[in-house]
Amino acid sequence: MADSKFAKLTINDKIIELPIHSPTAGPDVVDITKLYAEGDVFTYDPGFTSTASCESTITFIAGAKGELLYRGYPIDQLAEQSHYLEVCYLLLYGELPSKPELIEFETRVTNHTMLHDQMNHLFRGFRRDAHPMAIMCGVVGALSAFYHDSIDISDQDQREIASIRMIAKIPTIAAYAYKYSIGQPFIYPDNNLDYASNFLRMCFATPTENYEVNPILAKAMDRIFTLHADHEQNASTSTVRLAGSSGANPFACIAAGIACLWGPAHGGANEACLNMLREIGTVDRIPEYIARAKDKSDPFRLMGFGHRVYKNFDPRATVMKESADEVLELMGIENNETLLVAKALEKIALEDPYFIDKKLYPNVDFYSGIILDAMGFPTSMFTPIFAMSRTVGWIAQWKEMIADPKLKIGRPRQLYTGAIMRDYIKPDNR
């Protein structure tokens, strides 16, 4: 970062010089760390939408250009040419691996896919109808109770083994949560399979019937993992960093990220999108819902269209649409009513001037929900699969934060608008 530029802020006739840092990409950043000490004021930024909370080298988003880079590599290139575990290596270590490095990394991950056998009893403590995300939060947090040799964050080796364990075990936890919710026995990992295929098998195989993973489905699942692996300083990533800033163990930090991801405005968007498609029901009802979406007085909102960060298009959606078309053709369900509604809505969004002007293009949540539904996943599993994908991004961000010599515990300030000091009055005198 270059500190040769400064912003001058005048507060009550006092001039404060604030350094301006220039990143490798993106807008300059005004450093306000001394603003309170020298000016006795805070900044006010609800949602932190104009605040850089950290310095990072992992992921970059150029919303106006529709650009998403992992360590400098465009997301479309990685989704088309790479695969998820190679992307995991890239996010964790900063560079693409050599072939021997990739083989060694994949072997390390594969050797940790099993859960401690006693952890299987945890699942039975949940109600059978518990949402899989509730189970994910609990079980991931409980990893710290079983793997004591990887919770000392001051030990680099322990941080490393914790990272590998979480990437390896999160598909097993998600698959077990799904199996538990439908009353089927757990299927242990098969380490002869690749990461995506192993997850699909754990979800859909049974003890009496094997499940042969179709390569088109495995490819689509791998793309879902890759496209959701990291997304800069979003709500859940910021949650992981904030939890980690206190010195919490890595399993607790990832559990906090999962809890944040559960919200419908974040990781639950693809679930909300499919529920919306089912609410619309049939193609002939689309005009009614389009009219409602255009009516500012109507609370109805179209889910799966537009994006808070991407202003023109979601770069992940192009790749996801390709996989959606492949999966729907494979499954032979082009005439499914929900999918017909999705296709018709997609066409409208790409042609209707209202959608074009408002930049309400189909985003990655729109297509990923369609794919997961076609594969046979219930909507309740959409967010757990998102959590699986994002785990490596959370870990990479957490490791980067822990290694930062400037690390401080997170402590946002506030604009207080409550009562000023007043004396307590006993109940009889009120």
Q: Which residues are marked as active site?
A: 307, 365
Task: Specify the DSSP class assigned to residue 59.
Answer: E
Whole-Å CA distances, 272 to 239, 281, 366: 22, 14, 9
Give the full edge-to-edge strand order of the sheet including 29-30: 2-11, 14-22, 29-30
b or e along 23-34 (b: 16 or more beta carbons within 10 Å of the residue's beta carbon)?
eeeeeeebebee
Nearest alpha-carbon partner for 365 in 256, 266, 236: 266
Tokens describing residue 273:
């999108």
Query: Which residues neighbour 125 within 8 Å (Cβ) at sequence distance 6 or greater?
Result: none
Q: Rounded to whole angstroms, what are the CA distances from 339 to 281, 332, 371, 372, 377?
A: 10, 11, 10, 12, 15
The answer to whether the CB of 248 falls within 8 A of the CB of 409 is: no
Strand-pair partners of 6? 19
